[in-house]
Amino acid sequence: MDNTWTLMRGSMRSADVPRSLRPGTVSRIVRFARPHWRRLVVFLLLTMISAVLAVSTPLLAGRVVDTIVGGEDSGMVVLLALAIAGIAVADAAIGLAERWQSAHIGEGLIFDLRRAVFEHVQRMPIAFFTRTRTGALVSRLNNDVIGAQRTFTATLSGFVTNIIQLALSLAVMMTLSWQVTLCALVLLPIFVLPARRIGRKMADLQRDAATHNATMTTQMTERFSAPGATLVKLFGRPVAEADDFAERAGKVRDIGIRTAMLTRWFLTSLTLVSSLALALVYGFGGWLAIGGGLEAGTVVALALLLTRLYTPLTALANVRVDVMTALVSFERIFEVLDVKPGIDEKPDAKPLPDGPVSVEFSDVRFSYPSAKDVSLASLEEVATLDTRGGEEVLHGVSLHAPAGRMVALVGSSGAGKSTIASLVPRLYDVDSGSVRLGGIDVRDLSFATLRATVGVVTQDGHLFHDTIRANLAYAQPDASDEEVWDALRRARLDDLVLSLPDGLDTVVGERGYRLSGGERQRLTIARLLLAQPRVVVLDEATAHLDSESETAVSAALADALNGRTAIVIAHRLSTVRAADQILVVEDGSIAERGTHEELLAASGRYAALYRTQFATDESTDERLQPSEVA
């Protein structure tokens, strides 16, 4: 039965087999397999021995029958029976050893591939993650890695076993009776064709089921997240969502029923043909035995060897499907590994000297990378990549933030403020010009130095689904409890954490949704304080907060910025009036620069923005006043 299921799975993949592989795929697979070569050799030797033992048992069984019919000494029958038992025990032991080796090879390969992909993806630029569907990327680490592992376990062992069994069985059967052997092979096409034809139908059904299952998974992932569930409840669509889900689940159910019936037809047809072939061997072989042309034991041996002949032949008919399907998983993994990170650390990268650090932009020009440079169509789940991108978004930006001073970036949405901020921690590399920390180009600094020097707080600071302690320790893994509590106190969050039943071990939930917006933001500030960076980048850190939360966060930020060089992006101009220098960014260029008073006196773009915002704030305050008439 196990062999039958193996054949069916191989034929099911026949509709999906790729026509060819990219050059170099096999050689790269060999490089991944090289660390496991000793286990591979042992594994293949055990597989060969197991195949030989499988052919030996029918011969001994035939010899037992001949001994009984010939009326020979009963002791010989006992010895033959003991030999059959010994082979069974040896085959079981070899099977365990074979499984031990294959498990080590398979799991070791999974580990190597997953680690290689994970480490490579971690080096990818932010543009890669903004384009890639997370589910498609995770699939490479799970489904494709396991598919690749199958190459070195099921597919490889099956191929070796089937080749040896087929060769030995055919040779032995031809030796015993070439007439019966040729007669048995007549039914081979009838045995193989059902697997091929029904296999194609099974592949179509499995593909449809996978599509509907993926759609259901996407729907569940989106609707079961905190923001998705909130949206469904707010717009009152739980019934419609349930009906939509039920429709997809119903299609999967119907496919499951059709698959079950098709599977039964498949197994029934194979069992029937196998039985017909067995009947043919017994009939023709028995006729020859009665006529004196064969021994009775030979007929029994031929019948037992028949299963060792048909099963390998059918499996080998699908071997190209199995091999190519497994190899394509390697190709999909290599496809990810071939996407260039774009931002690399120089071999001679240097650290920053101790002390305060200045930030300087010198004639910086920058354009976001196009999709073909940072992404794959298969990871975006599109037919072709977006051809847009590559247009320059920063045009000759120059600025200087002296050590320990604050420079604020203001301007319209989409003007380029966040883009400028993202170049400081080297999330992207400039096209021309330079970004320098302490007078050293960020491209000449080590990644470790950059991460230790620059701290960033965004308007939606991310938190992992983990404890408060773990989220804080992400910035400083070896921080003591005293340092953690000091950071919480300076972030004005210690009283809240103390009031929680589990304190620092409280789980904040996915993306920190168990905390309020202001609490999440202050926790990210506490994480920043724990890291103790010398340069701080604040990208709309108080946006979308109510006035009370903004006050608490602003107080925490004031402590975080004390004595540090700061690049601050703010929509509310009132929060940056105290900056040492304010830069007005418009259309990717610095339109104005100066202090708050200087820019107001210049009556330019900043003054217009300030007057508009101030008037809007005043009118809003007036609208919020209680009516005196009432």
Are 401 and 567 in contact by the 8 Å Cβ rule? The answer is yes
The mean pLDDT value for 557-583 works out to 81
Q: Tell me the C-alpha distance between 300 and 287, whole Å.
A: 13
Q: How far apart are CA 285 and CA 299, in angstroms?
A: 6
pLDDT at 465 over 70: yes
The pLDDT tens digits of the residues spanning 17-67 come to 444 556 777 788 888 888 888 888 888 888 888 878 888 888 777 778 777
Determine how many CB atoms are found less than 10 A away from the CB of residue 85: 10
Q: Are residues 210 and 95 located together in one domain of the fold? A: yes
Which pLDDT tens digit goes with each residue over 216-242?
776 776 677 666 776 776 676 778 888
Contact at 8 Å (CB) between 544 and 370?
Answer: no
pLDDT confidence of residue 196:
61
Number of other residues whose CB lies within 10 A of the CB of residue 115 = 11
| Start-to-end C-alpha separation, the chain | 85
Query: Do 216 and 150 share a structural domain?
Result: yes
pLDDT above 50: residue 276? yes
Residue 343 lies in a domain: no
The 3-state DSSP composition of the chain as helix, strand, coil percent (nearest 5) reads 65, 10, 25
Lowest-pLDDT choice from 167-181, 337-351, 481-495, 543-557: 543-557
Residue 402: predicted pLDDT = 92
Whether residue 310 is found in the same domain as residue 365:
no
Phi, psi angle pair for 626, to nearest 5°: -65, 145
Average pLDDT, the chain: 78
Q: What percent of the chain clears pLDDT 70, i.e. is strictly above it?
A: 77
Q: What are the φ/ψ torsions at residue 589 (nearest 5 degrees)?
A: -135, 160
pLDDT digits 0-9 by tens, 150-161? 766 677 767 777
Query: What ranges make up the beta strands (E) of 336-389?
Result: 359-367
pLDDT at residue 197 greater than cutoff 70: no
Planar angle of CA 23, 25, 31, nearest 5 degrees = 135
**In this structure, are strands 565-569 and 535-539 parallel, antiparallel, or unpaired?**
parallel
Q: Looking at 346-488, which runs of residues are DSSP E strands?
A: 359-367, 392-401, 406-410, 432-437, 440-441, 454-458
Nearest to 481 by CA among 463, 457, 499, 498: 498
Tokens of 296: 């009775």
CATH number at residue 533: 3.40.50.300
pLDDT tens-digit readout, 415-459: 889 899 989 999 888 999 999 999 999 999 998 898 889 988 887
Q: What's the confidence (pLDDT) of residue 396?
A: 92
- Does residue 440 share a domain with residue 295? no
pLDDT tens digits, residue range 293-319?
777 888 888 888 877 776 777 667 656
394 close to 428: Cβ distance less than 8 angstroms: no
Question: Considering the domain boundaries, does residue 198 fall inside one?
Answer: yes
Average pLDDT over residues 104-128: 83
**Could you tell me if 251 and 330 lie in one domain?**
yes
Between these two residues, 15 and 481, which has the higher pLDDT value?
481
Check whether 286 has a pLDDT greater than 80: yes
Report pLDDT for 610: 82
Q: Are residues 209 and 117 in the same domain?
A: yes
Using CA atoms of 415, 418, 421, 427 in order, give the dihedral in degrees to the nearest 10: -120
pTM for this entry: 0.69
Residue owning tokens 């082979």? 87
Same-domain check for residues 131 and 33: yes
Q: Which tops the pLDDT comparison, 100 or 510?
A: 100
Residues linked to residue 440 through DSSP beta bridges, in sequence order? 437
The answer as to whether 303 is a domain residue is: yes
In-domain check, residue 629 = no
Q: Are residues 39 and 157 in the same domain?
A: yes
Residue 352 is assigned to a structural domain of this protein = no
Alpha helices, DSSP H, located in 123-177: 126-131, 134-139, 145-150, 156-176
Beta bridge partners of 592: 584
Mean pLDDT of 373-385: 65
Whether 243 is in a domain gets the answer yes
Contact 350, 442 (CB under 8 A): no
Flag whether pLDDT at 630 surpasses 60: no
Domain match, 321 and 401 both = no
Is 351 part of a structural domain of the chain?
no
What span, in angstroms and rounded, lies between the C-alpha atoms of 511 and 225? 10
Q: Quick one: pLDDT band at residue 214, thresholds 50, 70, 90?
A: low
Tell me: pLDDT of 168 over 70. Answer: yes
Domain CATH number, residue 158:
1.20.1560.10
Domain range holding 94?
Answer: 2-337
Pair 39, 152 in one domain: yes
Shared domain check, 401 and 300? no
Looking at the structure, tell me whether residues 289 and 364 fall in a common domain.
no
Q: How many domains does the chain have?
A: 2
Q: Is the pLDDT of residue 16 over 70?
A: no
Q: Within a domain: residue 630?
A: no
Residue 433 has φ and ψ, to the nearest 5°, of 80, -160
pLDDT at 627 over 50: no
